[in-house]
């Protein structure tokens, strides 16, 4: 892994760039369009959106307008909670694809494990996958028990589990479960939304490396084998967040960051969803 075009091979052979641009809370229209353009200009080849973010269309517009061929950009979108169920999922996928303006999607995720419907919803993702409409399918915010339920009911192993992941929330047993079943972990809120850039340990490691706290947090993901999608809409930060291939955290620095784990969540606990 040495550049923004470096990829990890998913469990079905699909190549996924290690670093992507997150666009949660990027406003639809010019804000998202320029963020995606800045990212592509900076060498990113991976964008993470969701129907819930209401900016799929803006992502599509930016991809279509850029010189980089759209097939060279890895695009993820997600199925929202209201759209679970077999038929509803298929319809929601069509709506997302129409907005994105894509023929084929790289990765489609179930955004949250709605307790009564995620297994049936997974079958619909399986259908989209078998029809070749999406190159890889996965889940988001799934805990081990959700993944076990899928494994009991389906032969298709998710390619990715996108979870809240940063030094304050490591979930080591979930990481190990995913690793042992070939499910690639992807980090959301990798920067902890900037809330802990001034934390003593994070600031110290950043200073030791001559890098910024954001770069240290992104690098920590990569050294854990976790795909990461930091969000910004500002050109200089988009560039900064991806400038992580010219340094390495030492074992001691990795360990110091690992020790910040305190089960701290920015988002809801996955078992609270849909209850
Ligand atoms: P993040 O941890 O990436 O933090 C983003 C925020 O950090 C920015 O809004 C900005 O305030 C700050 N920031 C970014 N770069 C900075 C820099 N270089 N210097 C200073 N401050 C900087 O948070 P996120 O947006 O929640 O997560 C990243 C992406 O993960 C999202 O955009 C989205 O694509 C995805 N996500 C997925 C889920 C899910 O349920 N699957 C949930 C949340 C986010």
Determine the average pLDDT of the residues in 102-116. 98
Q: Is residue 154 part of a domain?
A: yes
At how many degrees (to 10) do helices 251-258 and 213-223 cross? 100
Q: How far, in Å, is the centroid of ligand 1 from the Cα of 152?
A: 33
122-137 pLDDT, tens digit per residue, is: 999 999 999 999 999 9
Q: Does the pLDDT value for residue 272 go beyond 90?
A: yes
Distance from the CA of 188 to the center of ligand 1, in angstroms?
7
Question: Could you tell me if residue 71 is inside a domain?
Answer: yes
pLDDT tens string 174-214: 999 999 999 999 999 999 999 999 999 999 999 999 999 99
Ligand 1 center from residue 96 Cα (angstroms): 21
Query: What pLDDT band is residue 67 in, cutting at 50, 70 and 90?
Result: very high
The verdict on residue 202 lying in a domain is no
- Give the mean pLDDT of the chain: 98
Q: What percent of the chain has pLDDT over 70?
A: 100
Confidence of residue 81 (pLDDT cuts 50, 70, 90): very high
Residue 247 within any structural domain of the chain: no
pLDDT at 194: 98
**% of the chain residues with pLDDT over 90:** 99
Locate the ligand 1 atom nearest the alpha carbon of residue 50 and give its number: 34
pLDDT surpassing 90 at residue 74: yes
Q: How far apart are CA 182 and CA 239, in angstroms?
A: 31
Structural domain harbouring 46: 7-197+227-233
Q: What does the pLDDT look like over 7-19, one tens digit per residue?
A: 999 999 999 999 9
- The residue nearest atom 7 of ligand 1, judged by CA position, is 193
Q: Classify residue 48: in a domain, yes or no.
A: yes
| Residue with CA closest to ligand 1 atom 14 | 232
CATH number assigned to the domain comprising residue 149: 3.20.20.100
pLDDT tens digits, 43-64: 999 999 999 999 999 999 999 9
Whether the predicted model's global pTM rises above the 0.85 cut = yes
Q: How confident is the model at residue 1 (pLDDT cuts 50, 70, 90)?
A: confident
Q: Is 11 contained in some domain? A: yes
Residue 226 pLDDT more than 90?
A: yes
Backbone angles phi, psi at 70, to 5 degrees: -60, -30
What pLDDT is stored for residue 275 in this prediction?
A: 82
Catalytic residues: 53
Please tell me the total count of domains within the chain: 1
Q: Is residue 35 part of a domain?
A: yes
Query: Is 254 a member of any domain?
Result: no
Residue written as token pair 């991809």: 63
């Amino acid at each position: 892994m040495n550049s923004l075009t470096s990829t990890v091979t998913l469990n079905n052979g699909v190549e996924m760039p290690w670093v992507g641009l997150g666009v949660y809370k990027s406003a639809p229209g010019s804000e998202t369009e320029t963020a995606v353009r800045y990212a592509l200009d900076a060498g990113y080849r991976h964008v993470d959106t969701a129907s819930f973010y209401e900016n799929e269309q803006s992502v599509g517009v930016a991809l279509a307008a850029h010189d980089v061929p759209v097939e060279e950009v890895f695009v993820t979108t997600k199925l929202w909670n209201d759209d679970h169920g077999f038929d509803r999922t298929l319809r929601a996928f069509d709506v997302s694809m129409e907005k994105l303006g894509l023929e084929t999607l790289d990765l489609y995720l179930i955004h949250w494990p709605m307790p009564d419907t995620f297994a049936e919803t997974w079958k619909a993702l399986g259908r989209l996958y078998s029809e070749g409409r999406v190159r890889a399918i996965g889940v988001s915010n799934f805990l081990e028990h959700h993944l076990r339920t899928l494994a009991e009911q389906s032969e298709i192993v998710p390619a990715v589990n996108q979870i809240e992941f940063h030094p304050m929330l490591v979930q080591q047993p979930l990481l190990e479960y995913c690793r042992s079943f070939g499910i690639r972990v992807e980090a959301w809120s990798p920067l902890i939304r900037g809330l802990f850039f001034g934390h003593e340990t994070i600031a110290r490691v950043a200073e030791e490396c001559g890098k910024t706290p954001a770069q240290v947090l992104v690098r920590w993901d990569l050294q854990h084998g976790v795909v990461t999608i930091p969000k910004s809409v500002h050109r200089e930060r988009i560039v900064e967040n991806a400038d992580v291939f010219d340094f390495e955290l030492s074992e001691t620095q990795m360990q110091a960051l690992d020790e910040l784990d305190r089960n701290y969540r920015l988002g809801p606990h996955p078992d609270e969803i849909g209850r």
